């Protein structure tokens, strides 16, 4: 694969990477910007929402975070909630990789790149939410090892910086390499990607574990200081990630007329069936401890589920989340979930939204309410926070759309180097 | 997925000067990209104002522990200039060092404290807090007698003190021996000095607020915006790691008035206390008043079970 063994351009079997890689990038750009009217409408919509987010964020940076509704009592809000959920989404993509590579599921192998690309888009979302939450994004370089001062290994946030960026790079490498080889019409060399695939499996577990440890390690926040937090994070990630992927595959079948087989969808549904029950079991176990014991530290859970002293902001949200999770579990377990795609989209959406609430606001905000010295200050995101958050999600969806737009034709062999080098 | 080689647009060619013949689709893409870039530029327009607020020197400034005396001189001069520009105040920024053999401790006599709030006011003035939000590092809980459940306390009481059925519990940073806020900071922007004071480099903090999440005592404050202080109210006697006017978007906290205490003075809150409830001194000096209190009084700290080991103690007569 090295450039040393470059062969003449005339030899179409082994073109120089100096020629074929720019061609690959150029064709990627063409594929990413070509499409139907619906595609342009979708991308224009996402661009518009992203720009609203960018504008809101620049206002926040300039005028201060006073424009958010966060306070010294509730010092993390919608951004960190979305960040946490996004990490789960990124980790959840691994549930395609495990069947494809550990269990040699052929059909899953053909579509596994959808999961790997989701990991990339979700990590981009996570990193943007972290930057959005910083009071001084201009000092971002203080976090770069070598140039700044990286408080490793003491601060769990530095661990998170490492695992998130590492996960991004691993998946960029795997996807980039496989797509490029496919574009060249060559068989990928396992030595160049298989070790990274196995690394990415362990790494996927690590990103959500480390993110849970961020909260779990804080002795002063009893709502988070539970050994069950990391396993709960993983269980819910293995519902939200696969749910997103199932919907993506069904939409690709419906809208994009991409012939995605049913088998990978069935495999993912089987995984979701197990994960959603484990998640619910752990939620029940935590709630039993909180409410049966009734000790002082359960006031956060009381606030979340029943409200405290006339403060109820999160109560409707968490019960919606519980209802959505239970409905999703029932739908997934129903035998027709394997056949009925419409039902599956409903089940996946319910699970996705249910976990977004539970692993987002439902996890972060009660950690701060009541505050460490027991004051009840509630939090509801400001319009600006919603704008920034919507912008980041739109940008992430744009990344995923573009990635699919490139990956699908390349993986199906519709766009390749041989054709484009001839046409020149 | 359509095959790009056979798109109908291939037929429709447009002739442009210099570039030559291009497809209609390419032209539309170019227009789209230009419009997108224009919209992006418009969206980030507020950042030009931020650029004016932040100088290149500030952007490139190194961590406190990597600064030599010459660096500090230049930085302090720059910060003094900024205080003149932004607040119209002539200030002097110093950097007093910890005194060898000193470890500060604080004790508050809850039998004497009557909740008058002079300590919080003094802190507000001494430490150049935002006037608009009436910020202070000290908050006083008015607690019903017969409980230590802080949920029943109020920090917003507004009536004559002391009330007969209440007692008063002032809280501020406890300068923990084992501070949970320090270990979580991803960029080492906060640390414990040799005399036990936990400080923040306001020019290094990235504003992630992880320390606020980690502190079990609600001791840390975030600058949700740049503080507003009238020129005549700015306290010009400032320490780099203590009471200088903080920038927007960084975390701050009580520093036991280190610009005073490291030069032999008492903390502003203690000086302002009319009841004599506050006792401050060197824990390492067996003859200090604070050492006497710890030896002879029934002292306690908040949330001892968390193991943070606060060095601000409470006691009753």
Min distance A127 CA to chain B CA atoms (Å): 13
HEC secondary structure over B46-65 = CHHHHHHHCCHHHHHCCCHH
**Residue A267 pLDDT > 90:** yes
| A17, burial (CB in 10 Å: exposed 0-12, middle 13-18, buried 19+) | middle
Question: Which of A31-40, A356-365, B189-198 has the lowest average pLDDT?
Answer: A31-40
pLDDT at A6: 40
Which of A31, A36, A218 is closest, CB to CB, to B214?
A218
**Residue B9 pLDDT > 70:** no
pLDDT at B7: 46
DSSP state for residue B20 in the 8-state scheme = E
| pLDDT tier for residue B77 given thresholds of 50, 70 and 90 | very high
pLDDT at A390: 98
Contact yes or no for A135 and B209 at CB 8 A: yes
Contact yes or no for B4 and A34 at CB 8 A: yes
DSSP state for residue A338 in the 8-state scheme = G
Contact yes or no for B216 and A220 at CB 8 A: yes
CB atoms within 10 A of CB B309: 13
Angle B220-B222-B225 from CA coordinates, rounded to 5°: 160
**For testing contact with chain B, the best of A135, A211, A385, A410 (most B CBs within 10 A):** A135
Nearest-angstrom CA–CA distance, B167 and B153 = 9
Number of residues that this document lists for chain B: 317
Query: Is the ipTM above a cut-off of 0.90?
Result: yes
Measured between CA atoms, the residue of chain B closest to residue A149 is B187
Contact yes or no for B151 and A374 at CB 8 A: yes
Backbone φ and ψ of B187, nearest 5°: -120, 15
- Sheet of B278-282: strand order equals B278-282, B104-109, B312-315, B299-300
- From chain B, pick out residues whose CB is under 8 angstroms from the CB of A221: 213-214, 216
Query: pLDDT of B150-169, one tens digit each?
Result: 999 999 999 999 999 999 99
Average pLDDT value for residue range A156-173: 96
The reported pTM is 0.93
Give the whole-number percent of chain A exceeding pLDDT 90. 88
Please give the class, per CATH, of domain A16-422: mainly alpha
**Residue B309 pLDDT > 80:** yes
Contact yes or no for A220 and B205 at CB 8 A: no
Angle A149-A151-A157 from CA coordinates, rounded to 5°: 115
Does residue B275 contact residue B116 with C-beta atoms inside 8 Å? yes
Question: Which of A85-99, A392-406, B17-31, B144-158 has the lowest average pLDDT?
Answer: B17-31
Contact yes or no for B46 and A138 at CB 8 A: no
| pLDDT tier for residue B4 given thresholds of 50, 70 and 90 | very low
Measured between CA atoms, the residue of chain B closest to residue A216 is B214
Give the whole-number percent of chain B exceeding pLDDT 90. 80
Average pLDDT over chain B, rounded to an integer: 92
Average pLDDT over chain A, rounded to an integer: 93
DSSP state for residue B245 in the 8-state scheme = P
Backbone φ and ψ of B281, nearest 5°: 175, -165
Does residue B190 contact residue B251 with C-beta atoms inside 8 Å? yes
Contact yes or no for A412 and B186 at CB 8 A: no
| pLDDT tier for residue A421 given thresholds of 50, 70 and 90 | confident
Buried b (16+ CB within 10 A) or exposed e, B265-288: ebbbbbbbbebebbbbbbbeeeeb
**Residue A14 pLDDT > 90:** no
- From chain A, pick out residues whose CB is under 8 angstroms from the CB of B215: 220, 372
Tokens for B175, please give them: 């300068």
Does residue A46 contact residue A398 with C-beta atoms inside 8 Å? yes
DSSP state for residue A186 in the 8-state scheme = P
Does residue A241 contact residue A85 with C-beta atoms inside 8 Å? no
Nearest-angstrom CA–CA distance, A104 and A282 = 30
Helix axis angle, A361-368 to A78-92, nearest 10°:
140
DSSP state for residue B149 in the 8-state scheme = -
Higher pLDDT, B46 or B194: B194
Contact yes or no for A138 and B226 at CB 8 A: no
A132 touches chain B (CB under 8 A): no
Contact yes or no for A135 and B7 at CB 8 A: no
**Residue A111 pLDDT > 50:** yes
DSSP codes joined into one string, B251-285: EE---TTHHHHTTT---HHHHH-SS--EEEEETT-
Higher pLDDT, A297 or A355: A355
Measured between CA atoms, the residue of chain A closest to residue B47 is A58
Query: Half-sphere exposure (CA, 13 Å, Cβ side) for B45?
Result: 5
Contact yes or no for B184 and A370 at CB 8 A: no
Average pLDDT value for residue range B263-272: 97
Q: Is the C-alpha dihedral spanning A99, A103, A108, A112 positive or negative?
A: positive
- From chain B, pick out residues whose CB is under 8 angstroms from the CB of A161: 186
Chains A, B: CB contacts within 8 A come to: 197
| pLDDT tier for residue B16 given thresholds of 50, 70 and 90 | low
Does residue B124 contact residue B134 with C-beta atoms inside 8 Å? yes
**Residue A34 pLDDT > 50:** yes
pLDDT at A423: 52
Nearest-angstrom CA–CA distance, B93 and B79 = 8
Contact yes or no for A155 and B54 at CB 8 A: no
Tokens for A82, please give them: 């979305």
Closest Cα partner for A412 from A250, A194, A183, A248? A183
Contact yes or no for A149 and B184 at CB 8 A: no
Does residue A34 contact residue B4 with C-beta atoms inside 8 Å? yes
Which residues between 247 and 306 in chain A have a beta carbon less than 8 angstroms from any beta carbon of chain B? 256-258, 296, 299
- According to DSSP H, which parts of chain B are helical? 24-43, 47-53, 56-60, 69-87, 118-126, 180-184, 210-214, 258-261, 268-272, 289-296
Query: Half-sphere exposure (CA, 13 Å, Cβ side) for A104?
Result: 0
Closest Cα partner for B107 from B298, B239, B246? B298
A409 touches chain B (CB under 8 A): yes
Min distance A214 CA to chain B CA atoms (Å): 9
Residue whose pair of structure tokens reads 């966060």 in the numeric block: A70
């Amino acid at each position: 694969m090295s450039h040393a063994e470059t062969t003449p351009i005339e030899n179409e079997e082994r073109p120089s990477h100096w020629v074929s890689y720019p061609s690959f990038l150029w064709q990627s750009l063409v594929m990413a910007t070509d499409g139907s009217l619906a595609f342009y409408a979708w991308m224009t919509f996402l661009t518009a929402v992203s720009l609203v987010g960018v504008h809101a964020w620049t206002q926040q940076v300039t005028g201060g975070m006073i424009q958010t509704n966060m306070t010294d009592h509730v010092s993390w809000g919608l951004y960190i909630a979305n960040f946490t959920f996004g990490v789960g989404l990124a980790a959840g993509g691994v549930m395609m990789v495990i069947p494809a590579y550990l269990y040699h599921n052929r059909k899953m192998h053909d579509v596994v790149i959808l999961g790997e690309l989701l990991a990339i888009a979700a990590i981009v979302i996570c990193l943007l939410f972290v930057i959005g939450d910083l009071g001084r994004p201009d000092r971002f370089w203080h976090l770069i090892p070598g140039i700044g001062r990286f408080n490793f290994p003491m601060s769990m946030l530095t661990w998170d910086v490492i695992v998130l960026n590492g996960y991004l790079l691993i998946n960029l490498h795997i996807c980039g390499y496989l797509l490029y080889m496919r574009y060249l019409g060559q068989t990928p060399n396992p030595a160049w990607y298989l070790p990274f695939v196995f690394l990415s499996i362990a790494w996927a577990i690590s990103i959500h574990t480390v993110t849970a440890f961020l909260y779990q390690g804080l002795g002063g926040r009893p709502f988070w200081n539970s050994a069950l937090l990391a396993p709960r994070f993983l269980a819910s990630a293995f519902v939200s990630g696969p749910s997103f992927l199932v919907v993506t595959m069904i939409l690709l079948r419906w809208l994009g007329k991409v012939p995605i087989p049913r088998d990978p969808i069935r495999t993912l549904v089987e995984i979701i069936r197990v994960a959603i029950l484990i998640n619910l079991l752990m939620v029940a176990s935590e709630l039993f401890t909180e409410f049966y014991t009734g000790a002082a530290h359960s006031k956060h859970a009381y606030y979340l589920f029943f409200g405290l002293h006339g403060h109820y902001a999160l109560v409707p949200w968490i019960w919606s989340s519980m209802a959505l999770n239970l409905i999703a579990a029932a739908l997934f377990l129903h035998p027709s979930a394997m056949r009925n795609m419409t039902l599956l989209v409903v089940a996946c959406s319910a699970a996705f939204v249910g976990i977004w609430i539970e692993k987002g606001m439902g996890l972060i905000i009660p950690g701060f309410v009541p505050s460490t010295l027991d004051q009840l200050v509630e939090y509801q995101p400001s319009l600006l926070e919603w704008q920034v958050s919507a912008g980041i999600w739109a940008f992430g969806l744009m990344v995923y759309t573009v990635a699919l737009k490139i990956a699908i034709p390349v993986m199906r062999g519709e766009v390749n180097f041989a054709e484009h080098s001839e046409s020149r | 997925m359509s095959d790009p080689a056979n798109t109908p647009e291939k037929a429709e060619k447009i002739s442009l000067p210099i570039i030559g013949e291009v497809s209609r689709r390419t032209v539309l893409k170019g227009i789209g990209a230009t419009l997108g870039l224009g919209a992006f530029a418009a969206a980030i327009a507020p950042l030009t104002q931020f650029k004016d607020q932040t100088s290149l020197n500030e952007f490139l400034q190194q961590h406190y522990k990597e600064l030599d005396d010459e660096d500090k001189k230049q930085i302090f001069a720059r910060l003094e200039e900024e205080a003149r520009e932004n607040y119209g105040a002539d200030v002097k920024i110093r950097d007093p060092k910890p005194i060898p053999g000193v470890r500060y401790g604080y004790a508050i006599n809850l039998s004497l404290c009557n909740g008058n709030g002079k300590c919080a006011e003094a802190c507000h003035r001494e430490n150049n807090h935002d006037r608009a939000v009436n910020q202070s590092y000290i908050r006083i809980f008015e607690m019903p007698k017969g409980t230590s459940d802080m949920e029943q306390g109020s920090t917003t009481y507004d009536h004559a003190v002391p009330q007969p059925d209440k007692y008063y519990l002032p809280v501020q940073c406890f300068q923990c021996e084992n501070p949970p806020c320090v270990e979580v900071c991803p960029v080492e922007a906060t640390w414990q000095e040799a005399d036990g004071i936990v400080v923040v480099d306001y020019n290094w903090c990235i504003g992630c607020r992880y320390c606020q999440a980690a502190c079990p005592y609600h001791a840390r404050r975030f600058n949700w915006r740049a503080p507003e202080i009238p020129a005549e109210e700015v306290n010009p006697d400032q320490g780099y790691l203590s009471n200088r006017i903080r920038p927007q978007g960084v975390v701050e906290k009580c520093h036991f008035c280190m610009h005073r205490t490291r030069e032999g003075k008492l903390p502003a809150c203690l000086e302002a206390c009319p009841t004599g409830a506050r006792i401050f001194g060197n824990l390492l000096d067996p003859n200090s008043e604070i050492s006497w209190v710890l030896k002879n009084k029934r002292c306690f700290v908040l949330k001892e079970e968390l193991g943070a080991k606060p060095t601000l103690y409470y006691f009753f007569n």
